[in-house]
Amino acid sequence: MYKLDPEGDNRQTFKTLHKYHVTRVVLDCHSDRILQYVAEAEAANLVNEYEHFILVSMDTSTVAEKLVKMPCNTTWLSITQYDKLKDERHYLATRVGNWYSEQEVPSVVQFKLEALILDDVANHLVKALDLEELKDQAQPPSFSCNGDAEPWAHGAAFQKKILETQTYGVTGNVQFDQRGRRINYILYVNEIHVKVRQTIGTWESANATDIVSTTKYTNGVVNQQSSKEFRVVSRRAKPYFDYKEKCEGDACKDDDPNEKFEGFSVDLVKNIIKILREEENYNYTYKFIHDKDLDYPGLVKVLLDKKADLAVCDFTITEERKKVVDFSVPFMTLGISILYTQDKEVKPQMFSFLNPYTFEVWMYTATAYCVVSIMLFICARISPADWENPEPCEKDPEELENIWTFKNCTWLTMGSIMTQGCDILPKALGTRWVCGMWWFFAVIVCQTYIAQLSASMTDALENEPINSVDDLAKQTKIRYGAIATGSTLEFFKSSKDKTFRKMYETMQANPAVLVANNDEGEKRVLKSRNKYAFFMESSTIDYKLKRNCDLKKVGGELDSKDYGIAMPANSPFRTEINRAILRLKEINALDKIVNKWWFEKYGAKKCDQTTDENDTEGDLEMENLIGAFVVLVGGLGFCMVMTAIEFMNEVRNIVVREQVTYKEVFVKELKASLNFFQLRKPVLRNPSRAPSVASSLGSDDRRERQAKAIEAFMDLEKIVQ
């Protein structure tokens, strides 16, 4: 409560009221001060189509003509009826004709209530005195001014007749009860609304609990507001409100603002305006205002600052918000549900053991196996160290043997990748490098396969199904959250249910689970891999499910709430907006708008909740193992170089030992090595050279051994005999 100074400046007081978004002001002052205070309130931006002044003075009608010219919404009571008094000049001229000429007589509404009541009282007394039985007794007895007055003998009778007499004057019915109190009178509720003066209701003393509304008020206000342009604000969020694809950024900055946006909110506003134009004959228009991305508190602030007339989006009607803004009738009913990742039902497969790797990885691995086996086979044929003496006892063999057939090579590579090993191993440096690189690759591939398979099996065992909010509240592995500034979190905060209160405390204890908007919540659900659940309005969940088959809605709705169009408090357009929304519901236009933006626009699709055999979600792809393949290819290239060096070094040794040409040795050795169908090759010798001492000694030794073997065989024959 603030006290106004009649002689001072009260603008600071009205600025304070404006700062705190006060929309209804009760002004108790003399009628002569009303215009002064309203002008000061207007200077403080407290006078517009949303603020309302309730004037206590019953003489407000004396300044009503001037108040109509000001952008001020006012309400006051009067005992006189405005529509009747404005035509009472002739009556007043008759009453006060001795004082004024007919042209100078002021309007009745310019007289104070006190003067009008005195006039009615005088008429009432005259009528009481005109009664037949009091005519002869109307003269009071004489009395002395200096002496004691004697009571009038007919005073009691005259008082009784005054109480019993009933008259009708400027202030309405004049009648009294036995105690002398006025009864059966009517007070009129007057209002100036958007520069239109109306008597909007009546209050009868006989029925003090009810105010009867008139039918003229609504029509009068509507006619004055038929050219209003609505300033509409919304929150950027699909499918309610967003830029058109071609207008993202500043692409359409010079175009009509209404053509830059699209969505459910835009179509809803268009249809409301269409209803008002066609069915109510209003010339209403609209203009979307969107300077930046707003959250829910931002939308409320825009309405409180009177910078917009309507806020249309997924705006939940709550008791807290209704304290500061007005809402239309609901245009959508919904509830809070849980958004979670889809637990797809996997079809049983014969080759499910292949799931840890994608088909591409398996094909590259099989190709690597074949390439390594072939390279091992070729290197083993070319490398001199892998050609061995078939007769270990023969010091100077005529032929050399190679045990590395293609079958043995494939067996070695298979045993390595299966972690089983092999009984034979290469001896040459080049072939050992081939095996080493393959073993390195096999370790990476095998261990990764085992880890991936174990992880998928463990996830399947540890993945606790969530079927309701109770399941979510009882467990601790899956975190859950909501929008930090939305009505969803407020629902948990104000709930009396112990489970919901506990969940609210859990979310407050870990603010990281709270997000800024629904899109961020959706991303966290998808990224968490069944480790995060998000509370969201069911209507928005239905929209998300139609565009991402990896999501699902868990359980039923936790509550029931409504979306409505928000307006500044005391909005004069609320009735018209409500009527338009109800009409849209009647003709099913709202359902058509919902179907358009939920099930047709923005890439809506039909989801299959089961996976097929080609679903590779979670499998390791080639990008995950590309490093191992690169190392293997590099290693094989190095092995080829090492094998070539070994081969050339052996050719050089033979050239030096046998004294033959380099070309001859190279060609013969290469032909013998690449003859893949021969497991043995002759030792290259120079036929023109004499056998060496070593060779002679070798021949003598062979003959000696043969002789001893024959002798031993003969002795064995004798023993048998």
361 and 626 Cβ atoms separated by less than 8 Å: no
ω before 239 within 30° of 0 (cis)?
yes
Tokens found for residue 38: 């309203």
* Whether residue 168 is found in the same domain as residue 73: no
- The enclosing domain of 56 has a CATH number of 3.40.50.2300
- Within a domain: residue 449? yes
Does the pLDDT at position 720 exceed 50?
Answer: no
* Whether residue 367 is found in the same domain as residue 426: yes
47 and 156 Cβ atoms separated by less than 8 Å: no
Secondary structure E strands in 375-424:
399-401
- Per-residue buried b or exposed e for 438-458, using 16+ beta carbons within 10 Å of the residue's own CB: beebbebbeebbeebbeeeee
- Within a domain: residue 692? no
* Whether residue 367 is found in the same domain as residue 455: yes
Nearest Cα to Cα of residue 503 among 306, 384, 689, 336: 336
* Whether residue 233 is found in the same domain as residue 217: no
Q: 3-state class of 304 per DSSP?
A: helix
316 is in an annotated binding site: yes
Tokens found for residue 450: 């085992």
Tokens found for residue 379: 């290197």
- Using a 10 angstrom Cβ sphere, with 0-12 exposed, 13-18 middle and 19 or more buried, the burial of residue 272 is buried
Q: What angle do CA 50, 56, 61 make, to 5 degrees?
A: 85
- Within a domain: residue 602? yes
Tokens found for residue 228: 């209003």
Residue 481's contacts (CB-CB under 8 Å, 6 or more residues apart) are: 507, 513, 514, 515, 521, 524, 532, 533, 534, 535
The pLDDT score that the predictor gives to residue 110 is 66
pLDDT digits (tens, 9 = 90+) for 316-341: 898 889 888 999 999 999 899 999 98
* Range of the structural domain that residue 73 is part of: 1-79+185-224
Does the pLDDT at position 525 exceed 80?
Answer: yes
Nearest Cα to Cα of residue 192 among 343, 11, 66: 66
Q: How far is CA 319 from the centre of its chain?
A: 22
536 and 521 Cβ atoms separated by less than 8 Å: yes
DSSP 108: G
Q: 3-state class of 267 per DSSP?
A: helix
* Whether residue 368 is found in the same domain as residue 444: yes
Using CA atoms, how far apart are residues 104 and 192, in angstroms rounded to an integer? 28
537 is in an annotated binding site: yes
506 is in an annotated binding site: no
Q: 3-state class of 159 per DSSP?
A: helix
Using CA atoms, how far apart are residues 713 and 194, in angstroms rounded to an integer? 137
Using CA atoms, how far apart are residues 587 and 584, in angstroms rounded to an integer? 5
* Whether residue 274 is found in the same domain as residue 406: no
pLDDT digits (tens, 9 = 90+) for 533-581: 999 999 889 888 888 888 889 888 888 889 999 999 888 888 889 999 9
The pLDDT score that the predictor gives to residue 550 is 85
- Within a domain: residue 615? no
* Whether residue 383 is found in the same domain as residue 457: yes
pTM score of the predicted model: 0.56
pLDDT digits (tens, 9 = 90+) for 576-614: 899 999 999 999 999 999 999 888 887 777 776 544 444
Number of domains observed in the structure of the chain: 4
* Whether residue 5 is found in the same domain as residue 125: no
Nearest Cα to Cα of residue 542 among 503, 598, 582: 598
Tokens 């509404």 sit at which residue? Answer: 109
* Whether residue 193 is found in the same domain as residue 67: yes
Question: 317 or 701, which is more confident?
Answer: 317
- Among 224, 248, 283, which residue terminates a domain? 224
- Within a domain: residue 160? yes
* Whether residue 252 is found in the same domain as residue 388: no
* Whether residue 61 is found in the same domain as residue 27: yes
16 is in an annotated binding site: no
300 and 325 Cβ atoms separated by less than 8 Å: yes
Nearest Cα to Cα of residue 426 among 156, 437, 208: 437
- Within a domain: residue 288? yes
Sign (positive or negative) of CA dihedral 312, 313, 316, 319: negative
pLDDT digits (tens, 9 = 90+) for 419-473: 777 777 888 888 888 888 888 888 888 888 888 887 776 665 555 578 888 888 8
Q: What is the DSSP string of 278-301?
A: HHS----EEEEE-SS---HHHHHH
* Whether residue 251 is found in the same domain as residue 323: yes
Q: How many residues would you count in the chain?
A: 721
Q: What is the DSSP string of 561-582?
A: EEE--EEETT-TTHHHHHHHHH
Strands 186-193, 196-204: pairing is antiparallel
218 is in an annotated binding site: no
The pLDDT score that the predictor gives to residue 272 is 92
- Within a domain: residue 480? no
- Within a domain: residue 550? no
